[in-house]
């Protein structure tokens, strides 16, 4: 929430959530590429468990790493507008020291970067901010879908919790409950369309989180017609959410705990 709303303006921000040591690397590369491509702040949000995790990884060769270079201006320096309007909301961007003069401020500004109080220029700037997200929604959506095709209960999980959720899905399937998982790699902008598709096709949705339910509220917002289908599993103690906790909660939701006695034994 701090990554999304912790600003004094309405500019869009992007936040990526890795669930492995390898993704800490690959999503860092992606974060730099998105920042260069869209000219917005990008935050990498590994949780504490991922931050302390050690895993064997195979890193790509340097030539295999995608690098997006910012779009450079092609006009003469005297014509250059650092914040000019464009269809996508992203203007060409000159580097400092390349002969293109521009002003940088945290205030609402005109196309040259100078502070403005003109209503038309402020409205144009806000519209440009909005268009970056609206016109690039597909590129700013990244999710992992795991056994969602025929699932009757969906688990929306991110970060380290998604690792427990993935195994929980397999165990639930062994007990005849068709579970599936949707994991966002980009959490802001929120993956609206994948979540809506999950809500349309699932009987119930479980959102396990190591907090009081921050992203569950975002899922509920997209299911205003029937929020009772959205269930939270919130663990606030110092330990991580376990596979057992997710399985137990899902069984409780599906009223299957009595039917499957002793399911936690012999894993």
The set of residues, in sequence order, having a beta carbon less than 8 Å from that of 208 and lying 6+ positions away, is 155, 157, 161, 164, 165, 232, 233, 234, 235, 241, 245, 246, 249
> What does R_g of the chain's alpha carbons equal in angstroms?
22
Please answer whether residues 56 and 63 qualify as being in contact, where contact means their C-beta atoms are separated by less than 8 angstroms: no
For residue 192, give the 3-state DSSP assignment. Answer: helix
Residue 225: pLDDT band with limits 50, 70, 90: low
Residue 261: pLDDT band with limits 50, 70, 90: very low
Residue 258: pLDDT band with limits 50, 70, 90: very low
The torsion angles phi and psi of 187, rounded to 5 degrees, stand at -95, -25
* Domains parsed from the chain with CATH numbers: 2-64 (no CATH), 83-134 (no CATH), 143-253 (3.40.50.920)
pTM, to two decimals: 0.87
pLDDT of residue 144: 97
Q: Kindly report, residue by residue over 128-171, the tens digit of the pLDDT.
A: 888 888 888 899 999 999 999 999 999 999 999 999 999 999 99
Compare 135 and 263 and report the one with higher pLDDT.
135
Average of pLDDT values for 46-62?
93
Please determine, for residue 236, whether its predicted confidence score (pLDDT) is greater than 50: yes
For 12, the token pair is: 């869009």
Side-chain-side CA neighbours of 43 within 13 Å: the count stands at 16
Of 59, 267, 45, 43, nearest in space to 164 by CA? 267
Could you tell me the sign of the dihedral formed by the alpha carbons of 197, 21, 166, 241, in that order? negative
The set of residues, in sequence order, having a beta carbon less than 8 Å from that of 97 and lying 6+ positions away, is none
The set of residues, in sequence order, having a beta carbon less than 8 Å from that of 95 and lying 6+ positions away, is none
Least confident of 24-38, 150-164, 212-226, 237-251: 212-226
Please answer whether residues 114 and 158 qualify as being in contact, where contact means their C-beta atoms are separated by less than 8 angstroms: no
Task: Give the separation between CA 231 and CA 14, rounded to whole angstroms.
Answer: 26
Q: What letter does residue 126 receive in the DSSP assignment?
A: H
Average of pLDDT values for 74-100?
88
Average of pLDDT values for 255-259?
50
Beta bridge partners of 205: 154, 230
Distances (CA, A) of 201 to 62, 149, 151: 41, 9, 8
């Amino acid at each position: 929430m701090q990554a999304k709303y912790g600003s004094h303006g309405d500019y869009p921000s992007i936040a990526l959530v890795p669930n492995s040591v390898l993704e800490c690397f690959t999503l860092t590369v992606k974060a730099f590429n998105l920042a260069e491509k869209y000219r917005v702040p990008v935050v990498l949000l590994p949780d504490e468990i991922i931050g302390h995790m050690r895993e064997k990884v195979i890193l790509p060769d340097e030539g295999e790493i995608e690098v997006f270079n910012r779009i450079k201006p092609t006009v003469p320096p005297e014509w250059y507008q650092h914040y000019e309007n464009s269809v996508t909301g992203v203007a060409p961007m000159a580097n400092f020291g390349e002969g293109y003069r521009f002003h940088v401020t945290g205030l609402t500004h005109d196309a040259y970067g100078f502070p403005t109080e003109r209503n038309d220029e402020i409205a144009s700037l806000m519209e440009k901010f909005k268009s970056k997200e609206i016109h690039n929604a597909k590129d700013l959506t990244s999710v992992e879908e795991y056994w969602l095709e025929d699932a009757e209960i969906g688990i929306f999980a991110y970060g380290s919790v998604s690792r427990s959720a993935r195994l929980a899905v397999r165990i639930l399937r062994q007990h005849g409950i068709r579970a599936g998982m949707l994991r966002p790699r980009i959490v802001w902008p929120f993956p609206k369309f994948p979540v809506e598709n999950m809500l349309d096709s699932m009987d119930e949705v479980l959102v396990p989180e190591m907090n009081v339910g921050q992203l569950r509220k975002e899922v509920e917002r997209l299911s205003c017609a029937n929020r009772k289908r959205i269930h939270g599993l919130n663990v606030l103690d110092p330990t991580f959410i376990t596979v057992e906790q997710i399985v137990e909660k899902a069984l409780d939701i599906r009223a299957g705990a009595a039917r499957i006695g002793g399911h936690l034994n012999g894993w």
